[in-house]
Amino acid sequence: MTFELILVLAAGLFCTGLFGALSQQSIVMIMMGIELMIGGIIVAAADFWHFLAPAQGSGQVVIVAAVVAMAVEMAMGFAVTTAIYRARQVDMTDMAEELKG
């Protein structure tokens, strides 16, 4: 039962982050939402490793990959925010809609 409950916690973190990423206007806040979603994935991966296949190292590698994804997302997100702000003083998603179809 603990296994399922921790998965529910992971789903809760993921969906909180999803709500933030969808609803926030500020680019930096959207990145925070994505961080929270990846946090949920980390919890789920640790849960799967602990309760289903602790003898396999690959479960831990999923967590390493998720942590790297977090760092990459953060670095590229800040670089893009800096570039778009420098080019046209945009810090909100609603102001960056030139490519809207």
Partner 1 sequence: MVGPLDTVLLVALGVLALVFGALVFTLNSMARVTFALLAALVCVGGITAVLGLPYLGVVIVLMMVMEMVIMAVFMIAYMMNPAGLMPMSMLHNKRGALAISGVVFAALVAGIFAVPWPARTGIRPRDTTFQVGRSLMGDQMLTMVTLGFVLLATMVGATVLATRRGRYDRFGDDLDRRPADDPAGGGVGR
> Rounded to the nearest whole angstrom, what is the least distance from the CB of residue 7 to partner 1 in the complex?
5
The reply to whether 24 sits near partner 1 by the rule CB under 8 A is: yes
Containing 99, the helix (H) or strand (E) segment is none
The reply to whether 64 sits near partner 1 by the rule CB under 8 A is: yes
- Sites for partner 1 among residues 34-63 (CB under 8 A): 35-36, 39, 42-43, 46-47, 49-58, 60-61, 63
> Rounded to the nearest whole angstrom, what is the least distance from the CB of residue 100 to partner 1 in the complex?
14
71-74: list long-range contacts, CB under 8 Å, 24+ apart. 73/31, 73/34, 73/35, 73/38, 74/31, 74/35
- Name the residue type at position 93: T
Joined tokens for residue 96: 């960056």
The reply to whether 20 sits near partner 1 by the rule CB under 8 A is: yes
**Among 67, 88, 95, 97, which residue sits at the site for partner 1 (rule: CB under 8 A)?**
67
3-state secondary structure of 92: strand
- Sites for partner 1 among residues 75-94 (CB under 8 A): 75-76, 78-83, 85-86, 91-94
Residue 6 half-sphere exposure, CB side, CA atoms within 13 Å?
16
